[in-house]
Amino acid sequence: MAVSIHEHIRFSLYQVNDFGYSTHRLYQEAQPFVSFSFIAEGSLRTIADGKSDAARTGDVMVHRPHIPFSVYSDKPGTHMYVNLTLSVMDQVDFFQLYPLPRVVTLLNPLQYEQTFLLLKSVWNRPEDGLRDMQSTMLTFQLLNEILESARIGQQKRMDEEPASPDRLAPVIPYIEANLRQRITREELARLAHLNPVYFSRLFHKVYGIPPMTMVHKLRMKRALQLLDNPDYTIERIASECGFYDASYFNRMFQRDYKMTPGLFRRKLAASKRTFS
């Protein structure tokens, strides 16, 4: 299957450059593109959206378009920066879909620097089709390093973050009150005000099973209770417990309990007669 990339992605590269300084001051700078500023040497503080972040050698500062930012450093340093825009799906800003932190610590800063220097040499050549293609490919290599470093960094921070069982307090009652409805991991994560990936990890740590396994267990627990009531048909129990239909409920019940719901109900009734 052929895929036409230009129909899905719009990419513009505006500037590739580096500069050194003895001290560095920018105040409330704003620009129409996203800027990735790699700190090859030095350390500084950057402020945007009212939040302050420290950045040091090996980090990339991410300055979003139209968001004023300030930068302060009293020490010498060297920055390598790339200014660009990248949109997908009919002009949706890529970095709104996949937001990055204001500072990203790179996994491989040496490789990033080497790729940047190659990009700069290509960018400074006279314009032609080959130069544009190579510039695009090299820029995407830099973006891949930034995105992957941000992903790994976020995962590491979540792993180091202490478990907060209280955040999960509303989850079980919510599941029990909504067993008839379709329940998703993302929905439960929003309830706990957590990222879905971290929510799953924390839930498993606290309860010993994944969240969707808990949903299934609570559905089955409710089904067992209703099977004790002869007024409920198998079809009604399937609906009350959130299964797609009676056939699917039967399959899941047999998988878990090695018997059909009907057989379980008969055994339950027989045991009552035995002890009555």
**What is the pLDDT at residue 3?**
39
Q: Look at residue 205 and tell me whether its pLDDT is greater than 90.
A: no
Structure tokens at 57: 């050698």
Question: What local confidence, expressed as pLDDT, does residue 96 receive?
Answer: 81
The answer to whether 72 and 27 are in contact (CB under 8 A) is no
Q: What are phi and psi of 30, to 5 degrees?
A: -140, 145
- Do the domains at 5-160 and 165-275 have one common CATH topology? no
* Cα–Cα distance for residue pair 14/22, rounded to 1 Å: 26
Percent of the chain with pLDDT over 70: 91
Average pLDDT over every residue of 184-209:
90
Residue 198 has pLDDT above 90, yes or no: no
For the chain, percent of residues with pLDDT exceeding 90: 63
Sign of CA dihedral 113, 116, 122, 123: negative
Q: In the CATH scheme, what is the code of domain 165-275?
A: 1.10.10.60
Query: What is residue 276's DSSP assignment?
Result: -
* Mean pLDDT computed over every residue of the chain: 88
Across the strands, what pairs with 34? Answer: 84
End-to-end CA distance of the chain: 69
Torsion angle in degrees (nearest 10) through CA of 3, 9, 13, 14: 150
pTM: 0.58
Rama region for 76: left / alpha / beta (φ>0; ψ in -120 to 50; rest):
beta
Collapsed DSSP state (helix, strand, coil) of residue 181 = coil
Q: Is the confidence at residue 71, as pLDDT, over 90? A: yes
**Domain residues of the chain, as ranges?**
5-160, 165-275
Contacts of 104 (CB under 8 A, 6+ apart): 59, 60, 62, 146, 149, 150, 153
- pLDDT category at 9 given cuts 50, 70, 90 is confident
> What is the CATH architecture assignment of 5-160?
Sandwich (2.60)
pLDDT value of position 1: 34
Task: Supply the pLDDT for residue 272.
Answer: 66
**What letter does residue 232 receive in the DSSP assignment?**
S
| Residue 97: band (very low, low, confident or very high) from pLDDT cuts 50, 70, 90 | confident
Residue carrying structure tokens 């379980």:
264
Whether 173 contacts 183, CB under 8 Å:
no
Q: Are 19 and 79 in contact (CB under 8 A)?
A: yes
**What's the rounded Cα separation, in Å, for the pair 41 and 58?**
8
DSSP letters for 62-84 = EE-TT--EEEEESS-EEEEEEEE
Q: 133 or 161: whose pLDDT is higher?
A: 133
- The whole-number pLDDT of residue 193 equals 87
Which has the higher per-residue pLDDT, 3 or 61? Answer: 61
